[in-house]
Amino acid sequence: MLSNKKILLCVTGGIAVYKAVALVSKLTQKGAHVKVIMTESATRFVTPLSFQVMSKHDVYTDTFDEKDSNVIAHIDLADWADLIIVAPATANTIGKLANGIADDMVTTTLLAATGQVWIAPAMNVHMYDHPAVKRNVETLTQDGYQWIEPDEGYLACGYVGKGRLEEPEKIVALVESYFMPKHLPLKGKKVVVSAGPTRERIDPVRFLTNFSSGKMGYAMAAAAAKLGAQTILVSGPVSIDPPKGVQVVPVESAEEMLQAILKEYDTADIVVKTAAVADYRPKETFSRKMKKQPGDSSIELERTTDILLTLGERKQHQLLIGFAAETNDVIKYAKGKLEKKNADYIVANDVSKTDRGFGTDRNTVTLVGNNDYQVNFSQLPKEELALKLFETILKRQGLWN
């Protein structure tokens, strides 16, 4: 949800500044663009270089240090941000902001901001409970500022109580929730997604599989849940944490995946077949490990059931979306699958490229539909791409209400 979101972090002077470095790192890893402003006091605890390394952007510390002569920095930053977070926010900065004082880069920028501003206080428990601080907090609340309440626990000053900056992981979760789509076109719908590879056993220690990581399928499941759907994810063996709000059904073989999908198929509204299912399995499996023998050896293979074809043959009311991983003639094969397998859409991607497809965090795909419908999606993080695919398909189907 944070891909390409622009977040301005205002860092003020307290020992909790070290947590702000971790916050920048975690937001950046989520795909956000983060810019940092520091007060002079904040630079006493952590150098601007630390934030520069984590954010990959210049760090602002001086109102009069204009890094780009084409703009006025504090105005440009205030306009640039999708969300502004003050973390940690000291009693001093809260007091200045509540009284309209702009005497440094942080307060000057905050007074110029017209968008959403969150304040995450961090201070001694008695300072946080002081009547003056409480008045300033109330003033800013009335002015429309939002608060990330401090945590309770052991403080750097030795006291135990409320005043500790909220953990970076929790702040990131709040930011993700803020940017989560408020539009829920899939509310009341059931979406079944298949993801990952399958494994076809040869013996107790060997199996046939492929390079699928499951990342695209998991992104599709996460997107469906974020858009309001009851989401069931039928997953082959992967090393990915389950998306929030998604029911995961673990499977191993192609046959297990087929049966798990069919169990949910009749009551499904949308089925997204993202999994890279094995086309063949060993005709004979062994209960004991096959031992090495002199000379060559061969394994006779038989076809697995074509899951997408089976779903297409049984389709009634379901919207059926398939994925086609190809290495050549990508669009040609995608259009062939669309017709042969009675799918509504095929998402085609060229897995011969090393910067997209299997195992990567980004993907470049083409969405193919009936009546020569075709939409290209340039390289995007898979989470963002999944949301765009759903939006495009649902709008064409008249379901983006």
Catalytic residue among 125, 127, 157, 240: 157
> Which residues, including other chains, have CB under 8 Å from residue 28's CB and lie 6 or more apart?
34, 54, 55, 56
Among the ranges given (146-155, 222-231, 322-331), the one the predictor scored with the smallest mean pLDDT: 146-155
Predicted local confidence at residue 263, as pLDDT: 98
Tokens 């996460």, located at residue: 222
Q: Is 226 annotated as a binding residue?
A: no
Q: Is the pLDDT of residue 371 over 90?
A: yes
Taking alpha carbons only, the member of 323, 309, 354, 341 closest to residue 214 is 323
Q: Is the pLDDT of residue 162 over 80?
A: no
Give 2's pLDDT tier (boundaries 50, 70, 90).
confident
Q: Is 323 annotated as a binding residue?
A: yes
Average pLDDT, the chain: 92
More confident residue, 161 or 307: 307
Where in the sequence of the chain do the CATH 3.40.50.1950 domains occur?
A: 6-179
pLDDT, tens digit, 9 for 90 and up, residues 311-322: 999 999 999 999
pLDDT, tens digit, 9 for 90 and up, residues 89-102: 999 999 999 999 99
Q: Is 182 annotated as a binding residue?
A: no
| Spatial contact of 365 and 390, defined as CB atoms under 8 Å apart | no
The CA distance from 267 to 181, in Å, is 25
Predicted local confidence at residue 27, as pLDDT: 96
Active site residue 10: no
pLDDT, tens digit, 9 for 90 and up, residues 113-144: 999 999 999 998 889 999 999 999 999 999 99
Q: Is 337 annotated as a binding residue?
A: yes
Where in the sequence of the chain do the CATH 3.40.50.10300 domains occur?
A: 190-396
Taking alpha carbons only, the member of 317, 313, 303, 231 closest to residue 274 is 231
Architecture category of domain 6-179 in CATH = 3-Layer(aba) Sandwich (3.40)
Give 176's pLDDT tier (boundaries 50, 70, 90).
confident
Taking alpha carbons only, the member of 246, 227, 247 closest to residue 399 is 227
Q: Is 341 annotated as a binding residue?
A: yes
More confident residue, 296 or 86: 86
pLDDT, tens digit, 9 for 90 and up, residues 240-294: 988 888 999 999 999 999 999 999 999 999 999 999 999 999 999 999 998 888 8
Predicted local confidence at residue 155, as pLDDT: 66
Give the pLDDT mean for 196-210: 94
Architecture category of domain 190-396 in CATH = 3-Layer(aba) Sandwich (3.40)
